[in-house]
Structures are given as C-alpha cells and as structure tokens.
Amino acid sequence: MSSYNDYVFSSEESSVDDIQQKDGGGNIDSMGEKRPSFFRSLTSLGRSSHEYSSGNVRTSISSSDHINSKEMVDNSKAVIGAGFSHMDRVLPEQIKAKHHHRSHERHHHQAALDDGLGDDNDWNPVIELPTRKVKSLTSTTRSIKSSLTPSVVPQPAYTAASPKTSSVVRDPDYPCIRPDWPELLNDPYGILTKLQPPEHDRIRYGKIVRALTKQPFDMYELKKQTWGGIPQCVRSLVWQILVGYLPVNMNTRGSVLSRKRKEYVKSITQLFQGSKDEAVWHQIKIDVPRTNPGTKLYSYESTHRSLERILYLWAVRHPASGYVQGINDLVTPFFQVFLANYLVKMEDIEIIDPHTLPKDLLNAVEADTYWCLTKVLDTIQDNYIHEQPGIIRQIKELKDLITRDEPVLAQHLEDENLDFIQFAFRWMNCLLMREFDLHLIIRMWDTYLSDFPNGFSTFHVYVCCAYLRRFGPQLVNMEFQDIIMFLQDSSKTRDWTEEDIEMMLSEAYVWQSLYENALAHLK
Amino acid sequence: MSDTADDYSYDYEYLFKIVLIGDSSVGKTNLLSRFTRDEFNPDSRATIGVEFATRTLEINGKRIKAQIWDTAGQERYRAITAAYYRGAVGALVVYDISNSDSYESVSRWLKEMKEHADANIVIALVGNKSDLEHLRAVPTEEAKNFAAEHNLLFTEASALNADNVEFTFHQLIKSIYEMVSKRKFDMDGAEGSGNRDLNSKTITLTPAPKDKKVSKNSNCC
C-alpha cells in the first residue's frame, strides 16, 4: 500500500548523466514534490568548489560565507594557523572582500534554491536576489544567534501532503541547522574554518586539527591523535576520513563526495523501482521501528525511512549475508553523528525530526551513512554470513583470553556449564551496542575507527575481554542463571561515563599489546 | 563442584528448559516478560542471540522452575540457535494471529525442532496478539486443527493484555511434568524400552528430588 515513492528520491532522473546534462534540473523528491533538488545544490556547489580549488583563495576561506566579517577576521588567524600552509596568506581585508563576494554568490544560490525555480531546465544560478530573501536570511542568522531553545523541534517547514508544499519549501528558515549547511555539505573540511576550539577540550581539539591539516597528510598521525576520543564538533569529519570515505586530497574530495552521494541516490531510485526481496524487506521493516527505542530521533517516520533505505540497499548489495538483525543498530552511530554535524546545537540530535530538515541535507547524511556503514561492515563481513564464522571466531578468542588471564573466572564459568556463546554472541553481533548507551558507543567508535580496519574485528575482542573482566569478582559468586541474567541486563552500565569507557578501552589496549603478536601465549 | 553444591539452596524440585521460537516480531520476548515479570514493553528491541528468564511455579504439589530461553526469530541465526534446543523439554512455537506469514512458518519451525530437539519435547502452539481480533488473519479453528493433527498443545494469548499467558505456560509446564513423570516411571519399570541416547540427553530433565546436585548440572547447553 505504501507507495514505493516513499522510498524513492526521484522518479524522474534515470541516470546521473542524465541529471548532469540537465544541470541539476528539478527532481521529484520523496514527497513527490517538485523542487530544486539535492542534485542541483550539489551541482551548483560543486561548481563553486571547483572554482575555489583552482582559484587563488582556497576552500578554507571560501566556505566561510556565513560567518560575519568580525568573526571571519577573528578566525582568519586560526584558519591559517590551522595548517593550511599551502594556502596563500590572506589578510583580513582580503578575507572580508572574499567573504563579501562569496556571501553574495551564496545568496544567489540560495535564492535560486529558495525560489525553487522549479523544474526549470534553464535554471540559472546567477539571478538577482530578491530583497525579501536577503531579509529572510538575515533574520534567520539573527534568530539562530539569539534564541534557540534546545528542546524545541522546529515546526515542519513542509509537509508531504500539503499542496502548498513547494512554496513552503523555499523558506530557508531552518532554525535548528547551521545556516552554512550547503557549504559544509559540499566540503566537510569547511568545518575547520568555522570552529572555535571547544572550551573544555582545547588540547585534544588542537592536536586533531593539526593532524587533519598536516601537509602532506599523515593518516598515522591522525589515528594516533584520535585514539583517545574526538571532540564532537569535528567527529563527523574525522570519522569519514578514518574509514576512508572522505578523500584527504583537497583537489578531489569535493567531486568524490558529490559522486558518491549521487551514486547512492541513483542506486536507491533504481532499487525501489524494481521488485523487492520481500523477505529481506520485511525483516528490515519490522526491525527499524525497534531501533534505539526510547530515543526520539528514532521514533520519527522520516528516520525510519532513511534507515530502511540504507539497510535495504546494503542488504541487496551484500547477498552473501543480506540483512542480519543487529545491523540496524550499527547504522545509528553514523547517522546520528553525521546529522548532528549540521545542527546549531549538537545536543539537539536526539530530539530532532529529520523531516524538518532540508531534503538535500538529509539525502547527503543518508548517503554518507550508507557508505561509511559499508566500509565498517566490510571489515566484519564474516560476522553476518552463513553460520556467522566471524562471531564464532571472536567468541573463541574471547574465551581463550579469559582462560589465559582470568583462570578463576574461566573455571567458574566452565563449572557452571556456561558457554561463552550464550552471552557473548550479542556482544559480537551488535558490537556491544546493546550493552551501552549510544553516546558511549560513539565514544568507543572514536577509538575503533582510529584502529580502522582492525578496530571492529580484532580490538573489539579485547574490549569485550576488558568488559567481562570488570564483572569478574561478581560473576565468580553467581550461579549459571544469575550470570546469564546479569550479563544480559544492560542496565548495569547505565551509570557509566566516558571515563569508564576510556578505562575499559585502555585496559583492552594493554591486553592487545601483550598478546596481539604473541598468540602462542593463548595456547 | 560437588563440594560446593551444599552452599546453594534449591527451592525447586524440577528444572525445565523451555524454548520460545517463532518468526521475528510475533511477540516472543513480551510473552516471556509477561509470564516471568508481568511486564510488557511495546518498544522492546529485536532479540539478538538468546536471552532467558525463569519463573518457579507449583504444579501437582511440586515446585518447578521453568528456565525459558528466548531466541532470535531471524532465519540467519538458526545455525547458532540450534544449539539451544539441546536439553529443552518444552517449546512454545509462537505466531501472530494478525500475520498469516508467521502462521505459515510454524511448519518450518516444527521441522527444525524435529532436527535438533529431543523427540519427546512437548510443544505448544501459541497464537499471540489475540487482542488484535479486528486484524485477525489466522482463524482459531484452523490453528486448533493444525495443532491437533500435529499433537501440539494450543492456545491463543495476548502478551499485551496478559490474556491466557499464564494458562499457556502452565499448560505446557504441566504437560512436561506429566511426560517426565511418566517417562521416569517407564524407565524405572522397563529399562531399555526407551531410547538410550535420549535418556542420556535428558538426564538433567528428570532430577531426582533427593539428588540436588543434579539441578546444578542441568544447565546443559
């Protein structure tokens, strides 16, 4: 009954080439409405990007459109100091001028978007900006600065059913998201030029930014700096680099990102036009609403549609495993971190309704999530194929480690006839996501991703080991069923903080260092 | 281990391992939580691997502890969960009365059980979500007949409003008790009439009340 249109971004464009020829002609989005599309914004931004990277003033400056001049001047030092050493030294005056210029151009772009000059194949990015729009943008900026309350989810700017949708869509007033989202979307590195170091996290932030901007880029250095956690404000960017999704080459990253996102949209479009694998689809449909229950973000229809598309595409493209229950959990860290990146207040992420965000933004977040999820799952594919040999191997490794290091605990578990698979299966299948709050998992993933591609397959076992050891003293006094019930109950970690997680990760690291290259110890 | 056995006090005479099986999302986890904790959680996450809960109840004057294993419904986990049938004396095969596909799958679940479980396992067919009468897709009579043909106990229940949940479990546990008592009697009377292999597998299921250590060994998974 629910039309496939719910899942299809566009019923018009049949191929990326087609779209490119049309120069980002209007697409019908999932609401079935005609409006300037994701493609258009990408195309136009892509054009700008190209211009930036080949011009004298580089991306770091160009993407600062929405910072007012004063801020820009203040930031300029940071920008330059942040290691864009290849960049021409830019004086504050130049920045101002450039800023003005870009700002103007952005207004053009925004106006075109806002006016939704519809299905116009002859859409022209250089049109005069209506005065009303300038006001509107200004007021938006002001309102963002002054009065955002964290608990307020903005009124939906458009609704699927409304016939007036297209006129409402043009409203640029999305108070929850950063006004510079289109630039960030196009070049996630832009975030570096816009940030003030977080008050409480200056040192870590500084180290990571230095690693990010070091020329030539050094992945090892970045991994080293991110092992101990990543400040929220740069997490999205860093994660995308660590999994190898976002290129570090500034000349190509814009185009790669744009291509990947288009490819995703195209794949989804094609996927939902054809007949579906009903068994897989059914399983996804019943699991998605059961993902992270209790968190508002995951209760919205819009979130459900996004997760369904991501999971179904992944499943169809990985027929050896298909969709396996638990993979739905693994989508959420990426989805949440990437979405939060565009929010004015990142803390709002748990309550935001994605439906209230610009469709282009959501599409890009969805595509980024899909690709990064794919990168991670590639490293643990054995976990989800027939008979799940990866999980069996990890459980055996865990048991070997415990037997070696905690003989009393291991003996007790054996005496109780307790098989590791009875409690550790879920730890491996869901990467401990059922055991901790998502915000703690996200912290864990900072470290896992800094050890990419081994974090999820190898290091994770040591983390499970550290986790089990923590409860050793309690477990040795319990009987079989109390042990099982204790371990399957996730409320025991409710009071855990990031510090607890970091202790556990550190302990895991110590054990890994001891045994990783000396497996004979386990014999 | 035997020297520590006395440290524990056992408040039951029998320990029955029971498995809950059936398609994804038919309500296995909530049937279990309703029976063991009188709770219902509409937002429960999909079960991954297995989880379990227990409840002790009295049947025919005997205290029986039901150790109920809840399994993941998805096909992919079958290779793993097959191990969980081992030692089970009872099974609840659950379907959703508003979802005919889940009912169609019952045969598949029975077949799987035949492959992995003890031949004498007592099976109950349970149509869950009986509160969704207005969405009913599986006629009661049809399921009842199917159950009779296959020698299964049958009930319809609702974990949501607790209808018939107690009865469903009680009926199953009582049948298991009767089966176990009868087999014990048969075995005592005519040794060798049964399947020896079977006996060794299910030794833990017929604990002699006087031998309390047995219940410690009964976690045979």
pLDDT at A200: 87
How many residues are recorded in chain B?
221
Chain A residues 433-462 with a CB less than 8 Å from chain B: 434
Least confident span in A470-484, B94-108, B120-134, B182-196: B182-196
Q: Is the pLDDT of residue A264 over 60?
A: yes
pLDDT at A104: 43
- How large is the average pLDDT for residues A410-414? 98
- How large is the average pLDDT for residues A395-421? 95
- How large is the average pLDDT for residues A51-66? 34
Question: Does A430 sit within 8 Å of B24, measured CB to CB?
Answer: no
- If one compares B131 and A193, the residue with the highest pLDDT of the two is B131
pLDDT at A358: 93
Tokens standing for A381? 């594919």
Between A286, A419, A485, which is nearest B221 by CB? A419
Q: Alpha helix locations (H) across chain B?
A: 28-37, 78-81, 100-104, 106-116, 140-149, 165-189, 196-201, 213-217
Q: Is the pLDDT of residue A357 over 60?
A: yes
- How large is the average pLDDT for residues B52-57? 94
Chain B residues touching A279 at Cβ < 8 A: 75
Between B45, B49, B67, which is nearest A293 by CB? B45
Assembly ipTM? 0.82
- If one compares A487 and A5, the residue with the highest pLDDT of the two is A487
pTM beyond cutoff 0.80: no
Rounded to a whole number of angstroms, the distance from the CA of A521 to the nearest CA of chain B is 28
Residue A119: pLDDT band with limits 50, 70, 90: very low
Using the Cβ of A463 and the Cβ atoms of chain B, whether some distance falls under 8 Å is answered with no
Work out the mean pLDDT of chain B and round it to a whole number. Answer: 82
d(CA B95, CA B114): 18
Q: Is the pLDDT of residue A139 over 80?
A: no
Q: What angle do CA A366, A42, A238 make, to 5 degrees?
A: 55
Question: Does B219 sit within 8 Å of A283, measured CB to CB?
Answer: no
Best interface-test mutation with A: which of B2, B65, B74 has the largest number of A CBs within 10 A?
B74
Residue A522: pLDDT band with limits 50, 70, 90: low
Using the Cβ of A483 and the Cβ atoms of chain B, whether some distance falls under 8 Å is answered with no
How many residues are recorded in chain A?
523
Residue B59 Rama label (left phi>0; alpha psi -120 to 50; beta): beta
Q: Is the pLDDT of residue A275 over 50?
A: yes
Identify the contact set of chain B against chain A, taking CB-CB distances under 8 A. Answer: 1, 8, 24-25, 43-46, 48-54, 67, 72, 74-77, 79-80, 83, 101, 216-217, 219-221
Per cent of chain B over pLDDT 90 is 61
DSSP state, residue A15? -
Rounded to a whole number of angstroms, the distance from the CA of B85 to the nearest CA of chain A is 13
- If one compares A100 and A57, the residue with the highest pLDDT of the two is A100
Q: Is A299 exposed, middle or buried (0-12, 13-18, 19+ CB in 10 A)?
A: middle
DSSP state, residue A127? -
Chain B residues touching A325 at Cβ < 8 A: 24, 46, 48, 72, 74, 76-77
pLDDT at A173: 66
pLDDT at B135: 97
For B23, which residue in chain A has the nearest alpha carbon?
A: A283
For B41, which residue in chain A has the nearest alpha carbon?
A: A293
Quick one: which of A438, A405, A422 has its CA closest to B220? Answer: A422
pLDDT at A471: 97
- If one compares A378 and A5, the residue with the highest pLDDT of the two is A378
Chain A residues touching B213 at Cβ < 8 A: none
Query: Between the ranges A46-55, A89-98, A283-292, where is the mean pLDDT highest?
Result: A283-292
pLDDT at A127: 29
Between B46, B50, B74, which is nearest A422 by CB? B50
H or E stretch covering B153: strand B153-156
Residue A456: pLDDT band with limits 50, 70, 90: very high
Question: Does A488 sit within 8 Å of B52, measured CB to CB?
Answer: yes
Least confident span in A34-43, B12-21, B113-122: A34-43
Best interface-test mutation with B: which of A295, A392, A417, A483 has the largest number of B CBs within 10 A?
A417
pLDDT at B50: 86
Residue A249: pLDDT band with limits 50, 70, 90: confident
pLDDT at B209: 38
Residue A118 Rama label (left phi>0; alpha psi -120 to 50; beta): left
Residue A204: CB atoms within 10 A of its CB come to 18
Question: Does B48 sit within 8 Å of A322, measured CB to CB?
Answer: no
Using the Cβ of A163 and the Cβ atoms of chain B, whether some distance falls under 8 Å is answered with no
Using the Cβ of A480 and the Cβ atoms of chain B, whether some distance falls under 8 Å is answered with yes
Question: Does B48 sit within 8 Å of A430, measured CB to CB?
Answer: yes
A171-225 residue pLDDT tens: 456 888 998 899 999 989 988 888 888 888 899 999 999 999 998 999 999 999 9
pLDDT at A464: 98
Work out the mean pLDDT of chain A and round it to a whole number. Answer: 75
H or E stretch covering B128: strand B122-128
Question: Does B74 sit within 8 Å of A485, measured CB to CB?
Answer: no
pLDDT at B187: 63
